[in-house]
Structure formats: structure tokens, C-alpha cells
Structure 1
Amino acid sequence: MSQTIVAVDIGGTKIACGLVTLGGEAPVIEKVQKVPTEAMKGGEYVLATVLAQVKAAIERAGEKPVGVGISSAGVVNPRNGDITFANELMPGWGGTHLGAEVTAATGLPCRVLNDVHAHALGEARWGGGRDAKSCLVAAVGTGIGGAFVEYGKIMLGAHDEAGHIGHVCCPAAAGVPCSCGATGHLEPIAAGPGIIREYVRLGGDAEKPDGTPMDGAEIDRRAAAGDKAAKAAESRAGRALGEVLGSMCNMLDPDVVILSGSVAQCGPDWSDSMAEAFKGQAMPPVATTPIVGGELGGDAPLVGAAENFVCSGYAEVSD
């Protein structure tokens, strides 16, 4: 029996909201609309935007959806849908009673999951991990997030924040400050901004020819053309990620590692360094763990949010 869910993906820059129908051979994603988050206007503003988008999606649906599934930035308590913590990229978002507010405004039940957890659940159920019993997912873009899914259940941890791969110790990041307040974490050197900083430090341009700030896509193009600074910056980031993924596989032993996000699209300077470093850290039993790309792209968190609503796709939840 198919069920249609309003699915929402709340990020620091945009909010995507559409309809996801589950119950067939594959999820059907339709009528998705995207609006700017405008996170700097505060948590109340973001909440009002989310509620407006959910109500609009309900009106777009042919039949009344069975509920609302949300993927949100920040640390999420999936038992009640509260946002328990959010960093400075979404000021005032922490403390939002998101699930309760959506239900009060729409009359529909609502389930909320962290955005990377939802992304991972979508990929595990319907993407790169659909044939695997367990998968480790790393989303590498402006930041780095991760999640471990086993038998279709997300590992949450005692504080609902398991999977923060970007905030584990990395030898190459010794002494480098991280946005979380610690030093020596993976994210500041292996995420997109870290690649740009390293490129500029090595003598690369801080701006593109048109005067706009340098970005990762341009650095990747320059690496492919032989730019030594670009090649070195990507290699450093790939190597750092590979070391951490190898260590994580030693601990979790997944069937497959799934990489998604903009940085995961980098060329061979990045990917070859990542693969070599992975094998250098992984113990022999896990050294052959396949590392594959995500298949759902930007739809992954919407699919995961809908799956979470229908199947309670996380570790056993109780009050």
C-alpha cells in the first residue's frame, strides 16, 4: 500500500519541501519546491518558513498526506522532534520544538531526523546501500557529516549525534582550529572550505578570473589541468578523509562506504589519495570494503525523511 508523505529538508541555505510516495518499487518524489532558509533571520523566522512550505505542499497533494517527515540541520531528538542544538550557521534554531509545531499547525503527525542521518537512511534504503546490510555514509561538502546504518536502522548514540565524522581526530589537522571549538578535527581540512584555504596557502588565486571568490569546482578544474597547488590541496583533503574512513571501518565494519556531497565529485588527485590513505589505515579484513558514490543526490534527505516517518527508521526509540 502506497503512502504519501510531505518531506522537508532544512539546511543552512535552503529549505526543500515536496511529496514522497513510498510503497512501490522506488520512491516517487514530486512537486518539490525550494526556498532560501535565510537562517540569519533567526529560528522563529525559519520555523515560519517551514510551516508555510508544509502547508503549501499539503495543498499541492492530490490526497491528504499521511504525515510529515523532516530532515533538519542540527542535533535532533527523534523521540519528540525537538532541535536540541544548532551551531552559529543557524542562530536560534536550537531549542525549536519542530515536530510539535508542525503537528499543531497542520494536524498531521510529524517525525524529525537530523539531515545527515536522513540522507544516510535514504541512501541505505534506496540508493548506494540498498543491497547492503550495513553502510557508513559520509557527506562531504561545505562541512562533513556521517551516519552508520545497519539493517535499515540509524545508529543515533546517547546524545542523538552519532556519526559526526567531521569531528574526529585527524593527524593532518594537528593544531588546526575547528568550528566546534576543538582543534585537530577532520572537517576544517577535508571539507570544501579547507581545500580552498589550502589552495590559497600554497599560492593559488583567492579569486576566479571574474572576481568572484575561489570555489571547489574551479580548484578541481585547475587540478585536472595540472595546477600543482590545486592538485596538492585536493590530495591533502582526500588523504585526510581516507585515513578517517579507514579508522571508522576498523571500528564499525560496514558492508559498504557511501560518499556523497560536492567534494566527493572531485577528480583523481582527491579520489586516488583518499583510496590509498584508506587502505593504509584499514585493517586487512576491512581493507577491501567497497567505497561507492551516493545515488540519490539531493533527493536523499527527502527520501530518508519520508522513510523515517513511515518506518521509524532509527534505533529503537522510547521515552
Structure 2
Amino acid sequence: MADTKRVVALDIGGTKIASALVTLVPGERPRVDAVGKVPTEAKRGGAVVLERAIESVRRVIEETGAAIDGIGVSSAGVIDPRTGDVTYANEIMPGWGGTHLGAELEAAFGVQARVMNDVHAHALGEARWGAGLGKSSCLVVAVGTGIGGAFVNAGSILLGAHNEAGHIGHVCCTDAVGVPCSCGATGHLEPIAAGPGIIDRYLELGGSELTPSGDPVDGAYIDRLAAAGDEAAIAAEARSGHAIGEVLGSMCNMFDPDCVILSGSVAQCGPAWHDAMARGWNESVMPPVAKTPVVSGSLGGDAPLVGAAENVVSSGYAEFA
């Protein structure tokens, strides 16, 4: 078909780089093929990450033999989608900030490359082809090792004057009063509600640092303990869930989305977390938006790849459409 577009999509995170060929046909769900993953090796510096990103694009082209129409990138860090530059990245990806990612990919492959923040890409994929399909607007929140978000209205992401809109992990909440955040502020959602915050709280409450098999505790182990009635595990998950619910309710008061799409590993926790989230929600949400549905993402790991590819053929930002 003449309107079919084939885009190499990359999802660059602190741990791994995922790559795939995404085929976009108007009116049809995007097809994701030739998915591959390689370690990011972020600690080796931004130049190494860039090299591995270029290698990932080359792998997809060579494996599929496709003539590609562009490269779509989902990347950790603060991204200027106007230029494709990584304007800021934290200590998880040293040297990644300042990378001219879009320009480097265009120079290497001779096709257009568009870059967006990883949570924005995830949100765009879910809004256009996942749990938000058919909705006029949605607030997308991913809760895992960190917490990110994006507000999507009429298929376009709210970007903000400094490319920072959607940083819901850095909204204040009552459960986090006095708790320092990695950004330098205090009282933010992320340090208490993301996965590491749950582990920290469990240990503060007297939980063991090791599982019976001698492995370091992780979120999945704490969730199993909570299901079995362990009080420290229940309290750790409850603080996270309550904080998430409080902030989601507040954000719905402000944005009034058609739905909230919740994804990420922490959102897979059991009743201790979800019951607390419901309590936090009910305490903060206003009556007109109290029935806003909170649903799970449906695209899984394909969401940022689909979103990054969509951004190449139909900009994810209204101001660039």
C-alpha cells in the first residue's frame, strides 16, 4: 500500500535498548516485528550508548531487509523533540545529556529521525493504539523503578515550555513530607511510591534485606509477603499505593481526562497496594471526576516502540503537527 510506512523504533533506557521494525498502515493497528534487545551499558558513557543505538538500528534493517521511512526513538532523559537532542540525563546515564541523538541517527542512516522522551512515547502508543484507543484524552502514568507520566489530549502530548510536562513523579504528596528526592527537592511522589521506595520502607520497618534463599529483596518478593500477611510488606506497599492514589486524584481534578492508564511493575502489586491507592484516590478526587476510569495499559513493552514510530509519521506533539 502506498501509504504504508516502515519505521525502525528504538526504546533507549538505562538498562536496555529495545529495537523493532514498526509497520504503520492508516486505520490499522501497528505491526511490531524483529524485536531485539541489548544492554545499554549506560555506565560506559553517552558515546557508547549512541554506538549501541546505531548498531540496533542497523540490526533491524539488516534482519528485515526493509526500506525504512524513518527512525523513531523513545529515550530516557529530558528530550527536546524539536531538535532530537537529549538536553538532560541523570546519573543513571552519565554523559547521555548533550547527545545530539536525532542528528547522529540521521547522519548514520540518511533518513528522518524523531526523538521523544520514553514516557511520552509509551503514553502516545497507549493513547493511540492501546488502552486509550477511542478516548478523547488520557493521563498515562508508569510506576516502576521511577515514576513518569504524560497527558495526551486529542492524540497529542502536552509538552510544556521546558519539555518537562508530565513529570508526575515530582509532584508533592502528603505521604512524602520531608522525604528528599533525587532531583534535590523534598516531598515528591517518586522516592516513596516507586519500586525502590517500597523496598526502602520495608527495610525501615524491620524487613530483612535478604530473601530466605540469600538474594536481595525486590518488589516482587515484598508483594508476595504482603499477600501472605507480612505487616512490614503491607505497610510499605500501602504507603506507595496511597500516595499514587492521592496524586492521581489531584491530577484528575486538574486535567479531567477521559481515563487514567496505569502501567509499570509496581502497578502489578496486589490488594495491599491497590486498596491503599483507592483510599488515596477517594481522599483527594473531586466528585465530578470521581468516576474517571483507571485502567491498565494494554500494549506492554510494545507501547514505547509504537509511540516512537507514530511520532515519525504523525507528530505526537500538537505544536509540531
- TM-score norm. by structure 2 comes to 0.97
The residue that corresponds to 2:29 in the other structure is 26
The residue that corresponds to 1:301 in the other structure is 304
The residue that corresponds to 2:64 in the other structure is 61
- Find out whether 1:8 has 2:10 as its counterpart: yes
Share of identical aligned residues, percent?
A: 68
Q: Counterpart of 2:301 in 1: which secondary structure?
A: helix
Which of 44, 49, 67 is equivalent to 1:46? 49
How far did 1:161 drift?
A: 1.4
- Find out whether 1:286 has 2:298 as its counterpart: no
Q: Distance in 2 between matches of 1:256 and 1:275?
A: 15
Q: Counterpart of 2:275 in 1: which secondary structure?
A: helix
Q: Distance in 2 between matches of 1:132 and 1:25?
A: 17
Q: Counterpart of 1:213 in 2: which secondary structure?
A: coil
Q: Distance in 2 between matches of 1:211 and 1:243?
A: 36
Q: Distance in 2 between matches of 1:225 and 1:246?
A: 29
Q: Distance in 1 between matches of 2:168 and 2:289?
A: 18
Paired amino acid for 1:3: K
CA deviations over 1:65-99 (Å, ceiling 9, x no partner): 11100000000010110001101110000000000
How far did 1:62 drift?
A: 3.4
Q: Which runs of 5+ in 1 are unaligned?
A: none
Q: Distance in 1 between matches of 2:66 and 2:207?
A: 54
Q: Distance in 2 between matches of 1:222 and 1:288?
A: 31
- Find out whether 1:208 has 2:214 as its counterpart: no
Paired amino acid for 1:284: P
Q: Distance in 1 between matches of 2:310 and 2:82?
A: 15
**Alignment coverage as a number of residue pairs:** 318
Q: Counterpart of 1:95 in 2: which secondary structure?
A: coil
Q: Counterpart of 2:260 in 1: which secondary structure?
A: strand
Q: Distance in 2 between matches of 1:2 and 1:234?
A: 45
The residue that corresponds to 2:108 in the other structure is 105
- Find out whether 1:78 has 2:81 as its counterpart: yes
Paired amino acid for 2:12: I
Q: Distance in 1 between matches of 2:316 and 2:177?
A: 36
Which of 150, 153, 162 is equivalent to 1:150? 153
Paired amino acid for 1:10: I
Of stretches 22-31 and 5-14 in structure 1, the one that deviates more from structure 2 is 22-31
Paired amino acid for 2:17: I
Of stretches 151-160 and 202-211 in structure 1, the one that deviates more from structure 2 is 202-211
The residue that corresponds to 2:135 in the other structure is 132
Which of 176, 186, 189 is equivalent to 1:186? 189
Paired amino acid for 1:84: T
Provide runs of 4+ in structure 1 moved above 6 Å. Answer: none
Q: Counterpart of 2:172 in 1: which secondary structure?
A: coil
- Find out whether 1:314 has 2:308 as its counterpart: no
The residue that corresponds to 2:94 in the other structure is 91
How far did 1:38 drift?
A: 0.8
How far did 1:206 drift?
A: 1.0
Of stretches 25-34 and 54-63 in structure 1, the one that deviates more from structure 2 is 54-63
Q: Distance in 2 between matches of 1:4 and 1:161?
A: 29
How far did 1:315 drift?
A: 2.4
Which of 229, 232, 235 is equivalent to 2:235? 232
Which of 128, 131, 144 is equivalent to 1:141? 144
How far did 1:2 drift?
A: 2.0
- TM-score norm. by structure 1 comes to 0.98
Q: Distance in 2 between matches of 1:161 and 1:114?
A: 10
Which of 225, 244, 249 is equivalent to 2:247? 244
The residue that corresponds to 2:274 in the other structure is 271
Q: Distance in 2 between matches of 1:71 and 1:278?
A: 30
Q: Which runs of 5+ in 2 are unaligned?
A: none
Paired amino acid for 2:10: V
Q: Counterpart of 1:316 in 2: which secondary structure?
A: helix
How far did 1:27 drift?
A: 1.3
How far did 1:57 drift?
A: 1.1
Q: Counterpart of 2:254 in 1: which secondary structure?
A: helix
Q: Counterpart of 1:147 in 2: which secondary structure?
A: strand
The residue that corresponds to 2:258 in the other structure is 255
The residue that corresponds to 1:115 in the other structure is 118
